[in-house]
Amino acid sequence: MKISVPVKSGHLPDVYGKFAPESEKHNGAPVRSFPITIEDAPEETVTYAVTVLDHDAIPVGGFTWIHWVVANIDGSLTEIPDNASQSGDIAMTLGKNSTAGSLVGNADPQTNQHYVGPQPPDRDHRYTVTVYAIDEKLPLFDGFWLNQMMDAMHDHILAKASTIVMSRAE
């Protein structure tokens, strides 16, 4: 399985991160998710799960930052479309990102259970995008945590693919 994400000059296009226009932000946070193209998924794929993680956040905050975690995307898709997190164009079960945790305390499901784009504070960061091909619909409900998805996927991952995309700080 292979995945790809659009880049411009080696970085995620501005509309998906820190330099997004205000029209693509909610309460100051970028919320337009980028498209993900999926190739060569196993025939038995029933659903996809997606994570977008920022390991470069560890020196800044002490832990990997979760930007997006979703499950139960239709496994027949070959692309998760632009703005899928907010548009409702495809069905998915929405997990909580790091803004929902007690350190930030974001109680707004518009941003804590959807994609929240990169806003690297110190330097350009690398974001690990992973798509998992799953052999069933996972028993999750909106508002799940990443660890719950990982537990639910155990023994159900047919394939996974990751790519790293950069987002600029300045």
Asked whether the beta carbons of 55 and 64 are under 8 A apart, the reply is: yes
Q: Where are the domains of the chain?
A: 2-167
The model carries a pTM of 0.96
What are the Cα distances from residue 95, in Å, to 38, 86, 168?
Answer: 21, 13, 25
pLDDT of amino acid 75? 98
Residue 94 token pair: 């929405």
Q: How far apart are the first and last CA of the chain?
A: 33
| pLDDT tens digits in sequence order for the chain, 170 residues long | 999 999 999 999 999 999 999 999 999 999 999 999 999 999 999 999 999 999 999 999 899 999 999 999 999 999 999 999 999 999 999 999 999 988 788 888 888 999 999 999 999 999 999 999 999 999 999 999 999 999 999 999 999 999 999 999 99
Asked whether the beta carbons of 6 and 167 are under 8 A apart, the reply is: no
pLDDT of amino acid 123? 95
Is 3.10.580.10 the CATH classification of the domain at 2-167?
no
pLDDT of amino acid 103? 79
